[in-house]
Structure 1
């Protein structure tokens, strides 16, 4: 299993549109084959910065999602709201203490 972390930074006036859209699509993202977890975080100090954390069974599962028509639709909408270039990391999960 590995984790995909994406940092998204929005113009302040676009935050409501982003959150409304995320609310409407989050279940579809979560139900993508191989997706095991989807979380959204907002920075405590800069309310314009968000992070998504998604857990995937395999890199192929993430790539299949990223190459889907659904992802293209989501990304086309979301990228218009940015105030900075998004950043993304794919990391291997080594330990988890719950």
Structure 2
């Protein structure tokens, strides 16, 4: 999270609570069971980053990820409809003359 404030905003993972105001840079594996609480009415900016783990079969993993991505695209579009994604689109090319 960027610009932390004193509020009831935390992520609970592995039976530990990480409060936004104490540690704005909190990195955890979101495949683990976790809970996020946000009792703050102001704007909150979060950065989410996916990291592909090393694999002896990178082509197979990339193909499986592409299949999963296509299959959940419709669900994600409903879930994230009010979110603004930074860097989610490729920048437009600027033509020079």
TM-score above 0.5: no
- The structure in which a higher percent of residues are helix is 1
- The structure in which a higher percent of residues are strand is 1
- Whichever of the two has the greater Rg, that structure is 2
State the TM-score, normalizing by the size of structure 2: 0.29
